[in-house]
Structure 1
């Protein structure tokens, strides 16, 4: 298994940007796992602009398949006094595979402070069963890179409300960077799959996220993820995704639009 930190360490600078090689154990079907594609875009942007302020928001369009040797191209869109907008393209043999627009923003003094994203009350991950079957039948290759425990909700093909509530973390204990957090936040299969009567293809088309916090460096890596399908129909699904640290502090708030072939 290719550890996340080893894959990221192998990302190399080129004349036009960066190159990365994605091994089969990070694939979802014939393409690179979407969370890793997004993470590679974030990693390349941070290396290009090492003095950039914190990442606040990102939008990704998963345009086409990406596997094997990939090129990453980064260009600034606009830089102001406190914000930086960056475009990133992840390019494979068939052209652009992922297009990202990243927004970095410096903290500003403000009289306002408000947060109302409460984490669900669940038992700790040590008391939860595995989300995937022991045989891993039907689980995508990349999912073996993560520990996943079922804290509530349902599973693919299990029926019920299309919502997952999961404890998740990298199997690589050194995967603690911002890009590693992005890679983790897209981990579960779309909750619309709970409504499937048999396995069928799915493909995330767009992913929009806001980064509202970062975990403490000394924590154990467990993150609580709730993702819920809001609409499913005409071959598409919309879903919301919330990610908290073990102490209930919100980290990532996101939305996806997913193509459903069922």
Structure 2
């Protein structure tokens, strides 16, 4: 099973962990960012079973991550309502991913303001045209289904929007599902690049707007939008909505633009 290859080897004890059959999760010479973030998150929640719901995450992609790792995690602080947990992936004696997870209980609200509905609604995923079939890196071809959610193509407004779902979601809780697919699209700055060249995610920070997200038939509307690109880097806003157009995740990312 595809998902099991990422999560089954992870134990509450952490430490040295070996992953098999990860070729279909690779992005060049490293593990796809969403997959490595899921490993770090799973290591945290399996080590500390009584954590409240996840509210936010900050993930730094430090160096390429391979199949032989050491998993480290610790509770930095745990209060009455909020727990903050650090988890790291180490390969060959060096840190390759560092993540900080914020968990928090639900409290009586003193402020209520729902996120705005998605603008430029592309229509339901069931009516959208498939895209990237047989194209792109191995992790997309083997693990995701993508469908068009915008009319533009090629250079133009630096926004990439697609319907996305995992081909195999069996046994995966909704929060882990969002972590796994939250980084699936290329940066919006891709549409502003003067020529083709490699790109690399450096970090990813996100807030969960719903601790128990739901959608229809596994489809999520994913959008990466470059807010500013210069000097070889792009500041990106990453958002996810469910199939009804309700936002469930709001994030930011720094991306290196080479070439």
Give the drift of 1:11.
Answer: 2.3
Contact 1:88/1:99 (8 A) holds in 2: yes
Number of corresponding residues: 254
Deviation of 1:197 (Å): 4.5
| Residue 125 (1) aligns with residue 125 (2) | yes
**Residue deviations 1:200-241 (CA, integer Å, cap 9, x gap):** 11111111100111323x831100112101111101001001
- What does residue 166 of structure 1 align with? 162
Rounded to whole Å, the distance in 1 between the matches of 2:100 and 2:107 is 22
Q: 1:172, CA displacement in angstroms? A: 0.2
The corresponding residue for 1:19 is 17
The answer on 1:150 being equivalent to 2:136 is no
Q: Deviations over 1:111-141 (max 9, x none)?
A: 4211133123121112222231x441xx111
Match of 1:73 in 2: 72
Using the alignment, how far apart are the partners of 2:200 and 2:149 within structure 1? 25
Runs of 4+ off more than 4 Å: none
The aligned counterpart of 1:97 is 96
State the alpha-carbon separation in 2 of the partners of residues 50 and 94 from structure 1: 27
Aligned partner of residue 168 in structure 1, secondary structure: strand
| 2:54 alignment counterpart | 55
State the 1:6 CA deviation. Answer: 4.0
Unaligned runs of 5+ in 1: none
How many Å separate the matches in 2 of 1:154 and 1:5?
Answer: 36
How far apart in 2 are the matches of 1:201 and 1:79?
A: 40
Output the CA distance in 1 between the equivalents of 2:64 and 2:6.
Answer: 19
Contact 2:11–2:47 (CA under 8 A) maintained in structure 1: no
CA contact (8 A) 1:5 1:172 kept: no
Distance change >3 Å, CA 61–CA 10, structure 1 → 2? same
In the alignment, the residues of structure 2 paired with residue 234 and residue 153 of structure 1 have an alpha-carbon distance, to the nearest angstrom, of: 29
Other structure's SS at 1:118 match: coil
**Counterpart position of 1:215:** 213
Q: Is the 8 A contact 2:5 2:19 kept in 1?
A: no
Q: Distance in 2 between matches of 1:64 and 1:254?
A: 21
Tell me how far apart the structure 1 counterparts of residues 134 and 45 of structure 2 sit (CA, whole Å).
38
Q: How many Å separate the matches in 2 of 1:40 and 1:73?
A: 11
Q: RMSD of aligned C-alpha atoms?
A: 1.9
TM-score normalized by the length of structure 2: 0.91
Give the direction of change, closer, same or farther, for the CA distance of 1:127–1:169 in structure 2 (3 Å limit).
Answer: same
- Alpha-carbon shift at residue 186 of structure 1 (Å): 0.7
Distance in 2 (CA, whole Å) between partners of 1:80 and 1:12 is 25
| Distance in 2, Cα, partners of 1:42 & 1:18 | 16
Aligned residue number for residue 244 of structure 2: 247
Contiguous gaps of at least 5 residues in structure 2: none
What is the distance in 1 between the residues matched to 2:85 and 2:243?
31
CA deviation after TM superposition for structure 1 residue 44, in Å: 0.9
Q: How does 1:190-229 map to 2 (within 5 A)?
A: 190-213=187-210, 214-216=212-214, 219-229=216-226
SS in 2 for 1:152: coil
